[in-house]
Amino acid sequence: MKRFFDEIEYLLDNLNVKRFFILDDSFLSNKSRQADFTEEFEKRKKKNPGMNEIRLNAMIRPELIDRPAVDFLESINIDWVQIGLQTVNPKLDRYIGRQLPLKGFNDIAKWFRERGIRLHVDVIIGLPDDTLEYFKKTLEYALKLKPYAMQVKQLYLNPDTLFFNNQEEYEIVTNKQKRRDFTVPFIVKARGIDEKYIREATNFTIEKIRHSPSVKWKLVTIFKHFVSGFHKEI
């Protein structure tokens, strides 16, 4: 935590950087060090008033969030939290390693609203064995959480992952061309998944974007790439 705040102070004092994104989804979740983390932050703010102005964004695994964790996040100036819902299809829980029942996402959203922490929800298009019906249910459920932002991404093949190591079992086919903003290829076909599913899921997401303009959106598939605030039309 000392090195963490050393780096933040350096960037604040020398480059006037005040907003930071913590990509490690378990870094802030070690309960045994949260009190020390808060104490260290309070010391820094007393010595350097500029530290009061920093804002942190963080990825956090949803099963690691409870009421005390939310208290902790508020105490260290967390502005928004990105969590992975990914899918509500119960048959696919094993793919994403989720250990939190869906009701838990309702609780998280409520706790964040109470503390003014903005919620960013991730959803995946194209998990093997998924269905268009369940994808639609996932997006509908995610929007009921009243998120500040939504990220909907087509599944892509990362090295040394379950799908990478078992491509034949999951009947995985990837696109030949890689997007400029990705170094890994999209999965365009898998067990139960084809391009028609991806296109229809993309179109359904675009429909939701049009009807939910207050949400900040990021959509990335082989058929569409949209980021709220950058593209005026989709």
Dmax (CA) for the chain in angstroms is 58
H or E stretch at 212: none
213 exposed, middle or buried (CB, 10 Å; 0-12, 13-18, 19+)?
exposed
pLDDT, tens digit, 9 for 90 and up, residues 140-174: 999 999 999 999 999 998 888 899 999 999 999 99
Does the pLDDT at position 101 exceed 50?
Answer: yes
- Residue 116: left (phi > 0), alpha (psi -120 to 50), or beta? left
Q: Name the CATH architecture for the domain at 85-223.
A: 2-Layer Sandwich (3.30)
Q: Calculate the dihedral angle through the C-alpha atoms of 69, 75, 78, 83, rounding to the nearest 10 degrees.
A: 0
Does the pLDDT at position 231 exceed 60?
Answer: no
Does the pLDDT at position 182 exceed 90?
Answer: no
18 exposed, middle or buried (CB, 10 Å; 0-12, 13-18, 19+)?
middle
Is 223 strand, coil or helix?
coil
Using CA atoms, how far residue 201 sits from 108, 139, 178, 198, 225, in Å, is 26, 10, 20, 5, 13
H or E stretch at 217: strand 216-220
For residue 204, what pLDDT is reported? Answer: 98
Does the pLDDT at position 52 exceed 80?
Answer: yes
Cα separation, 57 vs 81, whole angstroms: 6
In eight-state DSSP terms, residue 224 is -
Does the pLDDT at position 181 exceed 70?
Answer: no
pLDDT band per the 50, 70, 90 thresholds, residue 233:
very low
pLDDT band per the 50, 70, 90 thresholds, residue 230:
low
Q: Residue 174 carries which side chain, given as an amino acid letter? A: T
pTM of the model: 0.89
For residue 26, what pLDDT is reported? Answer: 84
Query: According to the 3-state scheme, what is the secondary structure of 143-190?
Result: HHCCCCEEEEEECECCCCCHHHHCCCCCCCEECCCCCCCCCCCEEEEE
pLDDT band per the 50, 70, 90 thresholds, residue 93:
confident
State what percent of residues in the chain have pLDDT above 70.
94
Work out the average pLDDT over 90-111: 89
Does the pLDDT at position 180 exceed 80?
Answer: no
Cα separation, 57 vs 83, whole angstroms: 11
Does the pLDDT at position 177 exceed 90?
Answer: no
pLDDT, tens digit, 9 for 90 and up, residues 118-136: 999 999 999 999 999 999 9
Does the pLDDT at position 40 exceed 60?
Answer: yes
For residue 28, what pLDDT is reported? Answer: 87
Q: Where are the domains of the chain?
A: 1-59, 85-223
For residue 234, what pLDDT is reported? Answer: 42
